[in-house]
Structure 1
């Protein structure tokens, strides 16, 4: 038994060493060490040794940060406390994106609203420059009162969006039927606060009220368990066997979210697709249950 345990231990170390020689893994992260200022200059305020941050938008500018590293697969967690009060017109975004005309992107965007009206959490995915796959939710809590954890869990087979570790959306890889899916372009992590009043609140009907400025959102405890994409490394197998699907309890929670809190689903928008019909993956014969 002792010899078996010894062999098993060192065998595991060898496999880990071999695996690590081909990929670079990011574990944890801080706003100081893992991000650069994207825009807004002093409106990005990093605190607590890089563990927390506020983004501010005023009459002159919004603000944002972008990760130093590009990633190809992984799980990304961020605690966020949204702009309180009259936040109409503001967009607080936490997302992954590559660059270029055929970019990939995985979006979590919070669309502000008038005082007393709920935020919209909007999700979307782009692949090969093709997006338009919005699903939007109301939240079952007030996201301005406290911090909550929002997560993107991405591997070659699926993307899961989670709130406080509860799955709210699963997007499966449907490349087999011609639906683009982000599998080959490394993406950076972006966190931004900006003026989206041309569309964000009631399709642009309600505008940003600058008398309420400055608008401030809080962020803390960023965590990445992800593969850093670098020349000469491979992320192909990273995260492939972790949370590939959902356990029974997670499926139950997801079904509850989908039945109670969905505000908009592109696959149910018959007006939007009245002329050409629903997108291919939304048609009855092509619908898949989440794994």
Structure 2
């Protein structure tokens, strides 16, 4: 959620004229994230988020998937921002020759150091999402799965110091041994970091930024979430936060025996994926007016910590197995 494309007041006013949202009061760029162009927009009838979809971010043909998914989740008790239809009933329009959409602006703000109650809330909503998501009628492959890992690794490897290159190649070799064809699948958020949730106190008011959502292994989504929400500064897991997420998740969707056996592999896969994306953003940045590059070493250290403590993660799951 960065600003790559600037818009003028008159351009936004013209865009809003196609909606029944009153007149423009104010707007400002959202200085966070790294993918699309986002603005907070205030009109005489309410507050909204405007997203302009950048060409490097998303295949335009896939945009209806994301918008329909957000509407589907909002209509099934997931606190997702429902897209707004224009006067003709369409969620998607054009602004500055780019696809654009308005969604409801949800209450709350992101958290930096989550409380146990907030972790419990995230685990609960993720479990709920995974119960209903297999019934969503549309399908999208994971664009940042193993094939993307391989091609991105080839691109960034020449930029790495020897020990990081060795770690990256060794992990790719390890992950290639697993196919996960028998694991439960459905729609996953695939990026449920703390900055993609909105809280008021310990109340979860919103899950946002579904633009990595896809059909994939549900357990992978849990691992992505745990790696961000439960990681200490040294890269290791905070056991209390982990228990809060895992317990509330399993109350909604108990894991299968095979998922328990694959858990440590998934933790490593989730760390690998975000290490690679941050390496790519660091070494091959995209131009933008307001953009952020996040430190790849965070996920390099998480990956190493997951490797070092694999046996501990296996033991920590014993109490959850039936």
- Fold in common (TM above 0.5): no
- Which structure carries more helix by proportion? 2
User: Taking CA–CA contacts closer than 8 Å with sequence separation of 6 or more, which of the two structures ends up with the larger relative contact order?
Assistant: 1
- Which structure carries more strand by proportion? 1
**Scaled by the length of structure 2, what TM-score is found?**
0.27
